[in-house]
Structure 1
Amino acid sequence: MRYELYYWTGIQGRGEFVRLALEDAGADYVDVARQRGDNAMMPFLHGKHDGALPFAPPFLKAGRLVIAQTATILAYLGPRLGLVPGGQSAEIYAQQLQQTITDFVVETHDTHHPIASSQYYEQQRAAARKRAKAFRDERLPKFLDYFETVIERGNGRQALSRHSYVDLSLFQVVSGLDYAFPHAMRRMQKRIPRLRALAERIAERPNIAAYLQSPRRIPFNEDGVFRHYPELDPKR
């Protein structure tokens, strides 16, 4: 099957979690908006297309199916791309972990937009500093310690019994946090050796390594989920 991925141009954002799965599996897919522009998504978002109504991108078109929400897309793709161990319990656990990653990504985003996504960062800078401090001190360690334990309880190398889309998403989270909060992540270094090793192995997978060196991998920037503002990540 040829998949159609719909996500905003110019940023990695939440669409990158889906893109990494498609790239790792060598799936036949087209990144529609990157070819036809963001307006290609509007018929779906305005309800002028058959199938389910997505609230926002990313969404995936697979035959007649229209699937939205990152965790739901990956739960659909996982068995079809060989990116989840077999069995209902493994599939449910993978989706549970992916939804926890989604929660983590939302909290990361809210460090630079704690009041409203509709406002510029500069309009909420003071609140962002307070939110980012709580994130660095409390939420970042809580989530990273959790995923370190997940890997330890798996097989010590991966989140589940074998390679899965969850591992790819954890790689993206670590990469994004290294960009957004380099000082905080250095302070966490000794607490997350398994998570670090996992991210390094993912980066070396042949399809991922090729993707990371290609123009398809948009660099992190200050328009996406993971943004670097020095005042939100002091050296202290």
Structure 2
Amino acid sequence: MSEPDTKRPRSSADAPYELIYWPTLPGRGEFVRLLFEEAGVPYTDTAQELDPGAAASKVIDLVSPESGADIVGPSNPPVLAPPALRHGDLVISQTPNILLYLAPKLGLGPRLGDSDGDDNIAALHLNQIVLTLNDGLVAEMHDTHHPTAVSLTYEQQKPEAKKRTRHYLDERLPKFLGYAQRVINAKTSGEGPWLYGGSLTYADLFLFQCVDGCLFAFPKTMAKLRESGEYDAVFKLYDAVKERPNIKKYLASDRRQAYGQGIYRHYPELEEE
């Protein structure tokens, strides 16, 4: 494959991290924030640093065919949707992709390299876990309130949302929580409550945010699932992450935005039988 005409973007250990995301909702940006907060690494967040109007404009400019190129520069491909991370000249998007990049820099996962060594294999395994959780506990969760079209409001698709949610709560949510339980119970998880390798990684932070969002969106269902005892390891991990000093401090701060719109939404009627 031929090299592109432009120079490869460069990151630097001294370059600041900038998260570009919508204001006033945790959304997918929250998965990125949790890594910075756990690691205690400074970062700028457009949702916090700018007023809501300016933060929204930054996102719109980022994904616009007209102005997006000015933000990402000639060395990076266009961005379709936030979150996006800027680090030096590098601009990348897609949440799991951002996490894969940040994890080794923040001490929350191994580096994905060019060899078949243990670190490379572990990086692939962690990415596999996160991609699977993202499928069921983020993407499919979002579809419970927007099953027909993202461009329509929830109110315009309530009958379809009710039907989709019933299948999700009965079938898909238990399936993916069950997957997380199996991963924790597998030999590859090692000692302790963690998903992989016997120590906290970015995958654990990802699962924490998924469970936290589900608890907000579907509190009755999640209470039943917790009480069933079938997912004890998942909820043990959730509780362990919640009590980590930096995460606990972050959750109590005004940097932790309240749920409302975005992926995890609470519509009481969707839990009614």
| TM-score normalised per structure 1 | 0.95
1:44 CA displacement: 2.6
Aligned equivalents of 2:81 and 2:209: distance in 1? 20
What amino acid is aligned across from residue 83 of structure 1 in structure 2?
Answer: L
Question: Residue 168 of structure 1 aligns with which residue?
Answer: 205
Is the Cα–Cα contact under 8 Å of residues 113 and 121 in structure 1 kept in the other structure?
yes
Higher relative contact order (CA 8 A, sep 6+): 1
The more displaced of 145-154 and 78-87 is: 78-87
Q: 1:211 aligns with which of 250, 259, 266?
A: 250
Question: Residue 128 of structure 2 aligns with which residue?
Answer: 96
Mapping of residues 69-88 of structure 1, within 5 Å: 69-85=94-110, 87-88=119-120
Q: 1:230 to 1:33 in 2, by over 3 A?
A: closer
What amino acid is aligned across from residue 67 of structure 1 in structure 2?
Answer: I
What amino acid is aligned across from residue 8 of structure 1 in structure 2?
Answer: W
1:124 aligns with 2:157: yes
Question: Residue 84 of structure 2 aligns with which residue?
Answer: 59
Which consecutive unaligned segments of at least 5 residues does structure 1 have? none
Aligned equivalents of 1:141 and 1:41: distance in 2? 34
Is the Cα–Cα contact under 8 Å of residues 6 and 32 in structure 1 kept in the other structure?
yes
1:126 CA displacement: 0.6
The more displaced of 153-162 and 17-26 is: 153-162
What amino acid is aligned across from residue 87 of structure 2 in structure 1?
Answer: A
Q: 1:224 aligns with which of 241, 254, 262?
A: 262
| TM-score normalised per structure 2 | 0.83
Between the two proteins, the alignment pairs up a number of residues equal to 234
Is the Cα–Cα contact under 8 Å of residues 83 and 163 in structure 1 kept in the other structure?
yes
Aligned equivalents of 1:32 and 1:122: distance in 2? 29
1:127 CA displacement: 0.6
Percent same amino acid among aligned pairs? 44
List structure 1 runs of 4+ shifted beyond 3 angstroms. none
Question: Residue 183 of structure 1 aligns with which residue?
Answer: 220
Question: Residue 14 of structure 1 aligns with which residue?
Answer: 28
- Secondary structure of 1:4's aligned partner: strand
Is the Cα–Cα contact under 8 Å of residues 33 and 40 in structure 1 kept in the other structure?
no
The more displaced of 3-12 and 223-232 is: 223-232
1:28 CA displacement: 1.6
Is the Cα–Cα contact under 8 Å of residues 33 and 41 in structure 1 kept in the other structure?
no
> Residues 14-43 of structure 1, C-alpha deviation per residue, up to 9 Å, x if partnerless?
110011011111112000243232212344
**Greater radius of gyration (CA):** 2
Question: Residue 159 of structure 1 aligns with which residue?
Answer: 195
Aligned equivalents of 1:11 and 1:44: distance in 2? 18
Question: Residue 11 of structure 2 aligns with which residue?
Answer: none
Is the Cα–Cα contact under 8 Å of residues 23 and 46 in structure 2 kept in the other structure?
no
